[in-house]
Amino acid sequence: MNVAVLDVMLCAGLVWCAVSALVKRDLFASIVMFISFGLLSALAWIRLAAPDIALAEAAIGAGATGALLLDAAGVLARGDGSAAEDAERRTPRSANVLGTIAAGALFAALAWALLSTPLDAPRLAAAALTGAREVGIANPVTAVLLDFRGYDTLLEVAVLLLAVMGVMALRSGAPVSVASHAADPLVRLLVGSLAPAVLLAAAYLVWAGTSSPGGAFQSGALLGAGVIVLGLEGMLQPMRVHPGASRLLLAAGLLAFVAAALEPVAAGRALLQYAPYARKGVILAVEGILALSIATTVAGLFLASSVTPDRGKAGRP
Amino acid sequence: MSVASFAAGACFAASAFFFVAGTVGLLRFPDVYTRLHALTKADNLGIGFLVLALAIRSSDPVTIAKLVLIWLAVLVSSATASNLIAAAAYQDGAPWWRNEQ
């Protein structure tokens, strides 16, 4: 009963945050509502007993996406004071109408899919749990992601790499400096002392991913967020100081995954059919390298696309 | 009712009081700085009493240690964030409230 009250409040809060994020005129207020929406959805995932998704949603949906949006709003506002309003005025009415129709169609399709699924439809949970036991990985989410649906994850990792390559290609040649304010000693102290804790937590998440909630995506998102904060303080600029090593790290996850996927083929088995005795080791190794790649991707998306005020003005005709 | 459950209940009540007081302060105080003051003071005490209440109810030392870690993390990040917001507001020249009487 008490929990039901909490759930109703959570659902109402989610809807309220979503509506406010859409209707608020002030871009900054919209973004703050969007971040609140991300945090509430993380709570909702916890209530749905999906802590893996909750971790990813809190780190990527609320954290990294929020930072990207705030950065973009900052660049728009710094332009000439009315850039955000200009952007809004330039949006043609037809684009808004088309967007509304597309969103409505997507909503209708999702609602139809949900309502047309019989309640007693065969579920995949039992199959996933049996499979996880066979693999020897106690966390069924990790077993699904890296073993018996590994192909999906492999393609997702490739998409992530393509996305960050796109962002880096859009960035014009000059190196980007991010530290836009005099470093605050209090923040430097906090960030500096939290960095080792973030590193430890990220390593723990990879290790824990085999038996409990966690894994490469959660770990990478956490580590990436840590690098973003360090980058904002100007304490760590991986893309600028070590461009070659950063690019290698970006690609390392996909390379390791492809190698792990092809090795069984060379040994005469099917793609991604790891040797039974090496399964756990291979999965842990791929997860570890993937976590580093995802961290570099998350940090790279932010630190590569972040624009200083001066460059923002220089790029304006 | 045992002493422990009475103490935990009292801590829950104190936590709720500080959260409500902090929220009222956030909504009703006149400028950025006093609002931040209400928010951080009350939230820290609210979380503190909540952690205390949960620690009393828990018998597992590892859980208690985790709760204390959460409290410390909230304390440090909330203090730093409000300091940053106040500094940014001051730099932007956000007006501050004076008692006119």
Tens of pLDDT, residue by residue over B8-31, are: 999 999 999 999 999 999 898 888
Within a domain: residue B73? yes
What is the count of structural domains for chain B?
1
Within a domain: residue A132? yes
Which chain A residues are closer than 8 Å to B87 by Cβ? 184
- Using an 8 Å Cβ cutoff, are A88 and A76 in contact? no
Residues on B contacting A at a C-beta cutoff of 8 Å: 76-77, 80, 83-84, 87
Whether the pLDDT of residue B85 is over 70: the answer is yes
DSSP per position, B21-85:
HHHHHHHHSSSHHHHHHHHHHHHHHHHHHHHHHHHHH---HHHHHHHHHHHHHHHHHHHHHHHHH
Nearest CA in chain B to A197: B73
Q: Cβ–Cβ of B76/A187 closer than 8 Å?
A: no
Does the beta carbon of A190 lie under 8 angstroms from any beta carbon of chain B? yes
State which of A66, A90, A114 marks the end of a domain. Answer: A90
Which chain A residues are closer than 8 Å to B83 by Cβ? 184, 186
Question: And the tokens for A81?
Answer: 């004071």
Same domain membership, residue A179 and residue A30? no
Nearest in space to A210 (alpha carbons), one of A127, A279, A260: A279
Same domain membership, residue A78 and residue A204? no
Tell me what the pLDDT averaged over chain B comes to. Answer: 88
d(CA B101, CA B98): 9
A205 CB-near residues (< 8 Å, 6+ apart): A55, A214, A215, A218, A219, A222, A291
Identify the pLDDT of residue A83.
52
CA distance B4 to chain A (A): 22
Within a domain: residue A6? yes
Within a domain: residue B60? yes
Within a domain: residue A41? yes
What is the count of structural domains for chain A?
2
Which chain A residues are closer than 8 Å to B77 by Cβ? 190
Question: And the tokens for B7?
Answer: 């103490």
Domain that holds residue B39: 3-91
Does the beta carbon of A184 lie under 8 angstroms from any beta carbon of chain B? yes
Same domain membership, residue A76 and residue A212? no
- Using an 8 Å Cβ cutoff, are B16 and B59 in contact? no
Q: State chain A's maximal CA–CA distance in angstroms.
A: 63
Nearest CA in chain B to A186: B80
d(CA B86, CA B80): 10
How high is the ipTM of this complex? 0.78
- Using an 8 Å Cβ cutoff, are A74 and A309 in contact? no
Same domain membership, residue A179 and residue A76? no
Identify the pLDDT of residue A35.
93
Probe site for chain A from B70, B76, B80 (most A CB atoms < 10 A): B80
Same domain membership, residue A134 and residue A265? yes
Within a domain: residue A233? yes
Nearest CA in chain A to B73: A194
Within a domain: residue B98? no
CA distance B82 to chain A (A): 11
Does the beta carbon of A77 lie under 8 angstroms from any beta carbon of chain B? no
Domain that holds residue A151: 122-317
Within a domain: residue B25? yes
Same domain membership, residue A297 and residue A151? yes
Same domain membership, residue A158 and residue A73? no
Does the beta carbon of A119 lie under 8 angstroms from any beta carbon of chain B? no
How far is C-alpha A155 from the chain's CA centre? 16
Nearest in space to B88 (alpha carbons), one of B37, B32, B50: B32
d(CA A77, CA A293): 32
pLDDT tens string for chain A (317 positions)?
578 898 999 999 999 999 999 888 888 899 999 999 999 999 999 999 888 888 888 888 888 888 888 888 877 776 655 555 555 566 778 888 998 899 999 999 999 998 888 877 777 777 777 777 776 777 777 777 777 778 888 898 999 899 888 888 876 554 444 444 556 778 888 888 888 989 999 999 888 887 787 788 889 988 988 888 888 777 777 666 777 888 888 899 999 988 888 888 888 888 877 877 777 888 888 889 999 999 988 888 887 665 443 333 333 33
Can you list the pairs that A215-218 forms with residues at least 24 positions away whose Cβ atoms lie under 8 Å? A215/A52, A215/A139, A215/A141, A215/A142, A215/A145, A215/A287, A216/A253, A216/A286, A216/A287, A216/A288, A216/A290, A216/A291, A216/A294, A217/A56, A217/A60, A217/A290, A217/A291, A217/A294, A218/A52, A218/A55, A218/A56, A218/A59
B79-93 average pLDDT score: 86
Within a domain: residue A198? yes
How far is C-alpha A23 from the chain's CA centre? 25
Within a domain: residue A51? yes
State which of A68, A90, A112 marks the end of a domain. Answer: A90
Identify the pLDDT of residue A265.
84
**Residue A140 CB-half CA count within 13 A:** 11
Identify the pLDDT of residue A172.
54
CA distance A125 to chain B (A): 29
Same domain membership, residue A18 and residue A151? no
